[in-house]
Amino acid sequence: MNKFTVFFFTKRFGLFKRHMFILVLVMSMLFIWPTYCQAIPYIYTQISGTSCSFSGFGSPSINDSGTVAFWADLDAGGSGIFTGNGGSLTTIADTSGSLSGFNGTPSINDSGTVAFWAALDAGGEGIVTGDGGSTTVLYDTSGSINGFDQVDPSINDSGLVAFQVDISGGDEGIYRGNGGPITVIAVRSSTVEGISPSINNFGTVSFKGLGGFSPGWPSDGIFTSSGGPLTTIADANGPFFFSGSSSNNTSINDSGMVAFWAWLDTGGHGIFTGPDDVVDKVIRTGDTLFGSTVTSLLFSRRGLNDFGQLAFYAELADGTSGIFRADPQTERIPEPATIALLGIGLASLAGGYVRRRRKQKTDVRLRNVDCELRKENQKSEYRAKLSFVETRNKS
């Protein structure tokens, strides 16, 4: 292999390495941009409002078809559990039957079955299910259950319901069941307030936890568990803080995505899907919604479906309120810092390219000069040889 061959392959290999480096850098930016550094935009749909024969609402839940379930007071008196998808509403239960009152948030699964808390005409209270026909009482206070600490059950597609109760002779905490024996998910000490469970179709539960839970509970925050170790979704070390308020609800879907309601350290509150209050924001107080400004929000333990749609209750500055659905869009909005970072990266690549082109042009000019010098030297040598031959012939 001659020197020219070695030079050729060395230069080509160097160019290949540089091109591969540029390709890897650009591909890394493309992958990092949509995954980590952008906020998801949402389109909002109103399901029902105070102009629709209702005088008040509880926070709603949603299934994978986008159908929303909610509790509401009627203008004509009484209350009920209703479902809707942006059109006409379906009545699941109301106070004209064996149930005398409702509270909290109902939960709807993909088959349209709704689980909810109700006061019973016969006395006591219970966790009830229904789909628009007859209703079934799964658990009530006539047996070992002293009471339901919070009135927001969560039902999955197999009919398994998670709820929070106080058991006679047992611990207060989160349990799950479908009308038979119940399974313990988490218990708490008597000095700690409020945990808010949500269950997905794999039996994983998301909930708000405050310091003092057992065993080995971490700091205040949003966690998930399927009966084993806890996974932290967001905690008080970030931009949020959590209290014993029942409004600090969480919701988990089958992919393990968690959405939650939280107070902000900077003031106000909102609904989020992760530890970043900007990138993971769905909506917060101060945002614009249907021509007015959001002043208050409620979110439920089944407010998130498997397509990332969220249902929530909002009060607006113009005095209206209602049930809304947030539909995520596939295109993400880049954060300004991300655009700046990408611009710096592209500028660096462009600068490197310009420098290489200038160097290549300089190298070409130098090679041309060297070539001309060699040609002149060859001509001089030829003339010298020719002169020598002519002199020898004359002699």
- 3-36 and 336-394 are packed helices; what angle lies between their axes, rounded to 10 degrees? 170
Mean pLDDT on 262-285:
93
Instruction: Tally the domains of the chain.
Output: 2
**In contact, 140 and 125? CB cutoff 8 Å:** yes
CATH number at residue 262: 2.120.10
Decide if 137 is inside a domain. yes
Distance CA 89, CA 67 (A): 10
**Could you tell me if 210 and 344 lie in one domain?**
no
How many other CB atoms sit within 10 Å of the CB of residue 57? 22
pTM for the structure as a whole: 0.65
Alpha helices by DSSP H, listed for 213-284, are none
Q: Is the pLDDT of residue 89 over 80?
A: yes
- Give the amino acid at 238: G
Cα distance between residue 54 and residue 373, in whole Å:
95
Burial of residue 30, with CB atoms counted within 10 A of its CB: 0-12 exposed, 13-18 middle, 19 or more buried: exposed
Whole-number Å distance between alpha carbons of 283 and 265: 16
The pLDDT tens digits for 149-199 are 667 788 888 899 888 777 665 667 777 888 888 777 767 654 344 456 677
Tell whether 8 is covered by a domain.
no
29 assigned to some structural domain: no
Q: Which two tokens stand for residue 15?
A: 């160019």
- Residue indicated by tokens 């049930």: 323
8 Å CB contact between 4 and 12:
no
Residue 201: inside a domain: yes
Residues 80, 100 contacting (CB under 8 angstroms) = no
Query: Residue 43 corresponds to which tokens in the numbers above?
Result: 């389109």
pLDDT at 84: 93
What would you report as the CA-atom Rg of the chain, rounded to the nearest whole angstrom?
A: 34
Last residue of a domain, one of 333, 364, 387: 333
User: What phi, psi does 112 have (nearest 5°)?
Assistant: 90, 5
- 187 and 199 together in one domain: yes
Do 367 and 273 share a structural domain?
Answer: no
3-state secondary structure of 217: coil
pLDDT of 92 > 80? The answer is yes
Whether the bond into 334 is cis, omega within 30 of 0 = no
| Torsion sign (Cα): 200, 202, 203, 207 | negative
Instruction: Note whether 267 and 126 are same-domain residues.
Output: yes
Q: Are residues 52 and 74 in the same domain?
A: yes
Same domain, 306 and 325: yes
Average pLDDT over residues 238-258: 78
- Please name every residue paired with 109 in a beta bridge, in sequence order, or none if there are none: none
Q: Which position has the token pair 């708000």? A: 208
Instruction: Select from 333, 349, 371 the last residue of a domain.
Output: 333
Q: End of a domain among 297, 317, 333? A: 333
State the average pLDDT over residues 248-268: 89
Angle among Cα 290, 291, 297 to the nearest 5 degrees reads 55
Collapsed DSSP state (helix, strand, coil) of residue 342? helix
Residue 85 and residue 324: Cα distance in Å, rounded? Answer: 10
What backbone torsions phi and psi does residue 88 show, to the nearest 5 degrees? Answer: -70, 155
CA distance 27 to 33: 10
The boundaries of the domain holding residue 91 are 44-333
User: pLDDT confidence of 297, banded at 50, 70, 90?
Assistant: very high
- Check residue 237 and give left, alpha or beta (phi > 0: left; psi -120 to 50: alpha): alpha
pLDDT, the chain, mean? 76
Comparing CA positions, the residue from 271, 254, 206, 261 lying closest to residue 109 is 254
Same domain, 372 and 316: no
The answer to whether position 168 is within a domain reads yes
368-383 per-position pLDDT tens digit: 545 555 656 655 655 5
Q: Is residue 323 part of a domain?
A: yes
Same domain membership, residue 327 and residue 354: no
Same domain, 266 and 121: yes
Position 358 pLDDT exceeds 90: no
Summarize the confidence of residues 123-129 as an average pLDDT: 88
In whole angstroms, what is the distance from residue 272 CA to residue 326 CA?
A: 12
Q: Are residues 320 and 368 in the same domain?
A: no
pLDDT band of residue 141 (cuts 50, 70, 90) is confident
Give domain status of residue 328, yes or no. yes
pLDDT digit string, tens, across residues 317-356: 999 999 999 999 975 555 555 455 555 555 555 555 545 5
In a domain, residue 36? The reply is no
Co-location of 119 and 250 in the same domain: yes
User: If you ran DSSP here, which 8-state letter would residue 152 be given?
Assistant: E
Residue 83 has pLDDT above 50, yes or no: yes
Task: Assess whether 351 and 215 both reside in one domain.
Answer: no
User: 222, 236, 382, 232: which is closest to 304 by C-alpha?
Assistant: 222
Cα–Cα distance for residue pair 295/64, rounded to 1 Å: 28
